[in-house]
Chains A and B, each alone.
Chain A
Amino acid sequence: MTELSAHLPQFQHGQLTENFPDNHLSNTNDNSERRRHDNSERRRNDNPESETNGQPQNNIQQVVEQDEEEDEELTLKYGAKHVIMLFVPVTLCMVVVVATIKSVSFYTRKDGQLIYTPFTEETETVGQRALNSILNAAIMISVIIVMTILLVVLYKYRCYKVIHGWLIISSLLLLFFFSFIYLGEVFKTYNVAMDYITVALMIWNFGVVGMICIHWKGPLRLQQAYLIMISALMALVFIKYLPEWTAWLILAVISVYDLVAVLCPKGPLRMLVETAQERNETLFPALIYSSTMIWLVNMAEEDPEAQRKTSKNSTYDKQAPTNQTQNEDAEADDGGFSQEWQQQRDNRIGPIESTPESRAAVQALPSNSQTSEDPEERGVKLGLGDFIFYSVLVGKASATASGDWNTTLACFVAILIGLCLTLLLLAIFKKALPALPISITFGLVFYFATDNLVQPFMDQLAFHQFYI
Chain B
Amino acid sequence: AFFWLVSLLLASLIWFVSVRLSDREDAKLQYGLLLFGAAVSVLLQEAFRFAYFKLLKKADEGLATISEDGRSPISLRQMAYVSGLSFGIISGIFSVINILADSIGPGIVGIHGDSPYYFITSAFLTMALVLLHTFWGVIFFDACEKRRYWCLGLVVASHLLTSGLTFLNPWYEASLVPIFIITLCTGLWAFVTAGGSFHNVLKCLSCK
Instruction: Please tell me if A465 contacts chain B, counting CB pairs below 8 Å.
Output: yes
B125-A467 in contact (CB<8A): yes
A466-B98 in contact (CB<8A): no
Residue in chain B with minimal CB distance to A454: B12
Residue in chain A with minimal CB distance to B1: A413
Annotate A44-80 by CB proximity to B: 1 below 8 A, 0 otherwise: 0000000000000000000000000000110011000
Residue in chain B with minimal CB distance to A102: B101
A461-B34 in contact (CB<8A): yes
Q: Give the residue of B1, B37, B67 whose beta carbon is less than 8 angstroms from that of A73.
A: B67
B98-A454 in contact (CB<8A): no
Q: Give the residue of A406, A410, A460, A465 whose beta carbon is less than 8 angstroms from that of B98.
A: A406
Residues of A near B121 (CB, < 8 A) are 465
Instruction: Please tell me if A405 contacts chain B, counting CB pairs below 8 Å.
Output: yes
Residue in chain A with minimal CB distance to B91: A468
The interface-forming segment of A171-179, A361-369, A445-453 is A445-453
Residue in chain A with minimal CB distance to B90: A413
Residues of A near B99 (CB, < 8 A) are 462
B98-A462 in contact (CB<8A): yes
Residue in chain A with minimal CB distance to B94: A406
In the assembled complex, the CB of B178 is this many whole angstroms from the nearest CB of chain A, namely 13
In the assembled complex, the CB of B91 is this many whole angstroms from the nearest CB of chain A, namely 8
B67-A446 in contact (CB<8A): no
Residues of B near A453 (CB, < 8 A) are 9, 12-13, 16
B2-A405 in contact (CB<8A): no
Instruction: Please tell me if B187 contacts chain A, counting CB pairs below 8 Å.
Output: no
Annotate A424-468 by CB proximity to B: 1 below 8 A, 0 otherwise: 000000000000000000000010011011101110111011111
B38-A417 in contact (CB<8A): no
Residues of A near B34 (CB, < 8 A) are 460-461, 464, 466
Residue in chain A with minimal CB distance to B129: A467
Instruction: Please tell me if B41 contacts chain A, counting CB pairs below 8 Å.
Output: yes
Instruction: Please tell me if A376 contacts chain B, counting CB pairs below 8 Å.
Output: no
**Residues of chain B from 91 to 133 with CB closer than 8 A to chain A in the complex:** 91, 93-95, 97-99, 101, 118, 121-122, 125-126, 129
Q: Give the residue of A404, A457, A467 whose beta carbon is less than 8 angstroms from that of B12.
A: A457
Residue in chain A with minimal CB distance to B2: A417
User: Given A76-B66, A409-B93, are A466 and B101 also a contact pair (CB < 8 Å)?
Assistant: no
Instruction: Please tell me if B45 contacts chain A, counting CB pairs below 8 Å.
Output: yes
A461-B38 in contact (CB<8A): yes
Residues of A near B101 (CB, < 8 A) are 404-405
Residues of B near A464 (CB, < 8 A) are 34, 167, 169
Q: Give the residue of A72, A403, A405, A446 whose beta carbon is less than 8 angstroms from that of B5.
A: A446
Residue in chain B with minimal CB distance to A404: B98
Chain B interface bracket (under 10, 10 to 19, 20 to 34, 35 or more): 35 or more
B1-A465 in contact (CB<8A): no
Instruction: Please tell me if B23 contacts chain A, counting CB pairs below 8 Å.
Output: no
User: Given A458-B94, A465-B122, are A77 and B170 also a contact pair (CB < 8 Å)?
Assistant: no
Instruction: Please tell me if A234 contacts chain B, counting CB pairs below 8 Å.
Output: no
User: Given A73-B66, A417-B2, A460-B34, are A466 and B12 also a contact pair (CB < 8 Å)?
Assistant: no
A468-B45 in contact (CB<8A): yes
Residues of B near A403 (CB, < 8 A) are 98
User: Given A73-B67, A405-B97, A410-B5, are A468 and B15 also a contact pair (CB < 8 Å)?
Assistant: no
**Residues of chain A from 73 to 102 with CB closer than 8 A to chain B in the complex:** 73, 76-77
Residues of A near B8 (CB, < 8 A) are 454, 468
B95-A467 in contact (CB<8A): yes
Rounded to whole angstroms, the CA-CA distance of A452 and B101 in the bound complex is 20
Instruction: Please tell me if A254 contacts chain B, counting CB pairs below 8 Å.
Output: no
Instruction: Please tell me if A414 contacts chain B, counting CB pairs below 8 Å.
Output: yes
A409-B129 in contact (CB<8A): no
Please name 23 pairs of A and B residues whose Cβ atoms are closer than 8 Å in the assembled complex, sorted by A: A76-B66, A77-B67, A406-B97, A409-B90, A446-B5, A449-B9, A449-B12, A453-B13, A454-B12, A456-B16, A457-B15, A457-B16, A458-B12, A458-B94, A458-B98, A461-B38, A462-B95, A465-B121, A465-B122, A466-B166, A467-B129, A467-B163, A468-B38
Using a CB–CB distance below 8 Å, which chain A residues touch chain B? 72-73, 76-77, 403-406, 409-410, 413-414, 417, 446, 449-450, 452-454, 456-458, 460-462, 464-468
Additional A-B contact list (13), CB under 8 Å, known A73-B67, A466-B34, A467-B129: A73-B66, A76-B66, A406-B97, A409-B94, A414-B5, A453-B12, A454-B9, A454-B12, A461-B34, A465-B169, A466-B38, A466-B167, A468-B38
